[in-house]
């Protein structure tokens, strides 16, 4: 099984408008995480970091510039 890419996870947790592209991504990610525990955990961690960073003005910029990678946020 191929895992979700960092870009797919970042896009999934950070999209704020619904369009054809975001709906397709949401459908693809949701379908995958129903079957893949590893990616489900990566999405959960990324969503938590994104939500926390949203409350810190510089935090969200840093998170997005890191490609949404949890390990980079943990180095702070």
Render pLDDT for 50-61 as a digit per residue (tens, 0 to 9): 887 766 656 566
| 30 membership: H or E segment, kind and range | helix 20-35
pLDDT of residue 72: 45
Q: Tell me which of 13-17, 55-59, 63-67 is least confident.
A: 55-59
**pTM passes above 0.85:** no
By CB atoms closer than 10 A (0-12, 13-18, 19+), residue 53 is: buried
Give 68's DSSP letter.
Answer: S
C-alpha angle with apex 28: 54 to 38, nearest 5 degrees?
70
> Taking the C-alpha atoms of 29, 32, 34 and 35 in order, what is their torsion angle to the nearest 10 degrees?
-160
pLDDT of residue 68: 65
pLDDT of residue 16: 78
């Amino acid at each position: 099984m191929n895992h979700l890419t960092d870009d797919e996870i970042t896009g999934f947790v950070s999209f704020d408008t619904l369009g054809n592209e975001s709906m397709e991504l949401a459908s693809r990610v949701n379908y995958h995480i129903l079957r893949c525990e590893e990616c489900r955990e990566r999405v959960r961690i990324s969503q938590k970091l994104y939500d926390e960073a949203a409350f810190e003005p510089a935090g969200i910029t840093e998170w997005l510039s890191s490609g949404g990678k949890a390990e980079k946020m943990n180095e702070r």
